[in-house]
Amino acid sequence: MSTQAIYLDHNATTPLDPRVAQAMQRSAGEAFANPASQHGPGQQARRILEAARQRIGQLLGASAAADQVIFTSGATEANNLALRGLAGQPPGHVIISAIEHPSVVGTAEYLQTLGFEICRLPVDTDGVVQVDALPALLTPDTRVVSVMLGNNETGALQPVDRIAACCAPAGVPLHTDAAQVAAKLPVNFQSLGAAALTVTAHKFHGPRGIGALILRGGVPLRPILFGGFQQGGLRPGSEPVELAVGMCTALELWDAERSERNGRIAALRDGLERKLLTGCPDTVVHAARAARLPHTSCLSFTGLDRQALLMALDQAGVACSTGSACASGSSEPSPVLLAMGCDESLVGSALRFSLGATTTAAEVDEAARRILHVVNRLRDRNKSANQSRLAPLEPSKTL
């Protein structure tokens, strides 16, 4: 058996598309200068940077005339900037959903230490935010609401346009973390109605180290970094031109190839789930009734321990994860599955498989075979361990 690793962890990060690497290499030559420099090479770098910024905004449905694309180091920084920048000074009230990424949860917890009150919008058993609960949570002191566009663990898509419709009459800005959705599904910032939207390039076969916060025109945002005039002072620091070009190229490639990629990826993901359900009928598919990202599958193999399963699958050559890359490594149960009301055995046995544009049918077939083999082997081992524990003791001899 070949044990070459089959990579099914694209929600953690995706391999760089070689065409993106080429575009970055070209721009690193043409635009090596600092785009803030006033000389010719600096202006050349500025032109290339601004063209990438404008095209990224256009591909994500931002208004070229009004909205701003603020480059950051990735989604974690964009989420920090959005929450802290929109919340402003305490006191005040911040609402996040119960299934946000650790970078939103951690920022909200930081805001709480500053004196903000935080509350969480609940989700249903499919991991979809309960919009009806929002109006009662909004107060005159609410500074920002943050609800992600698609969940990184289950893939469940969130009704952000309906949430925006609740926030608008209250005059509360809505932030949405679109890190897992941008590029893979069409995102139209203007029609979503959010005040700010987070993206990150390494989730869509672009480079690591660049993301953006798209900010609606006229929405006040306080910076979280200081000491430079770049990007209107909202995110100071020299802009990474070749990373911006890479992000733009990766988005353009998804835009051009989206329907082909998504049809193929969704069919592969559905095929993987079908094979696992056939081989292991008690497998539980999370968020199964929700509209889901086509590349994400969160499954529980009841009776098994997710950490033991992850290790055994890694040895068998399947790279997957137990949840968010920012939380994996921790043995904490998934807050997302807990918020969905899953019991301990479902939470303790859940793994995430996520596919990318380069995933092939042969990889999915082989991965399903390896997963079933590992699941059955671990179950047999658990069964014989239980049987030997329960075996009657030899009757004690009477003297």
Ligand X SMILES: Cc1ncc(COP(=O)(O)O)c(C=O)c1O
Footprint on this chain of ligand X (rule: CB under 6 A)? 74-76, 79, 101, 103, 148, 152, 177, 179-180, 200, 211, 324-326
Backbone angles phi, psi at 285, to 5 degrees: -95, 120
Round to whole Å and give the CA distance between 327 and 220: 31
**Cα distances (angstroms) measured from residue 24 to each of 50, 156, 310, 381:** 15, 33, 35, 50
Q: Which is nearer to ligand X, 185 or 325 (CB)?
A: 325
Q: Which is nearer to ligand X, 197 or 374 (CB)?
A: 197
Burial of 373 per CB tally in 10 Å (0-12, 13-18, 19+): middle
Q: How far is the CB of 177 from ligand X (least distance, A)?
A: 5
Q: Which is nearer to ligand X, 288 or 326 (CB)?
A: 326
Q: How far is the CB of 75 from ligand X (least distance, A)?
A: 3
Q: Which is nearer to ligand X, 283 or 297 (CB)?
A: 297
**CB neighbour list of residue 269: distance below 8 Å, 6 or more residues apart:** 294, 295, 296, 297, 353, 355
Burial of 241 per CB tally in 10 Å (0-12, 13-18, 19+): buried
Q: How far is the CB of 356 from ligand X (least distance, A)?
A: 14
Q: How far is the CB of 382 from ligand X (least distance, A)?
A: 31
- CB nearest ligand X: which residue? 74
Q: How far is the CB of 279 from ligand X (least distance, A)?
A: 29
| H or E element in which residue 271 lies | helix 241-279
Question: What is the CB neighbour count within 10 angstroms for residue 47?
Answer: 14
Query: Which residues are identified as catalytic?
Result: 326
Q: Which is nearer to ligand X, 87 or 213 (CB)?
A: 213
Q: Which is nearer to ligand X, 24 or 201 (CB)?
A: 201
Q: How far is the CB of 171 from ligand X (least distance, A)?
A: 26
SS3 state of residue 133: helix
**Cα distances (angstroms) measured from residue 65 to each of 57, 69, 190:** 10, 11, 12
Closest-CA residue to 142 (of 159, 165, 119): 119
Residue type, 162: R
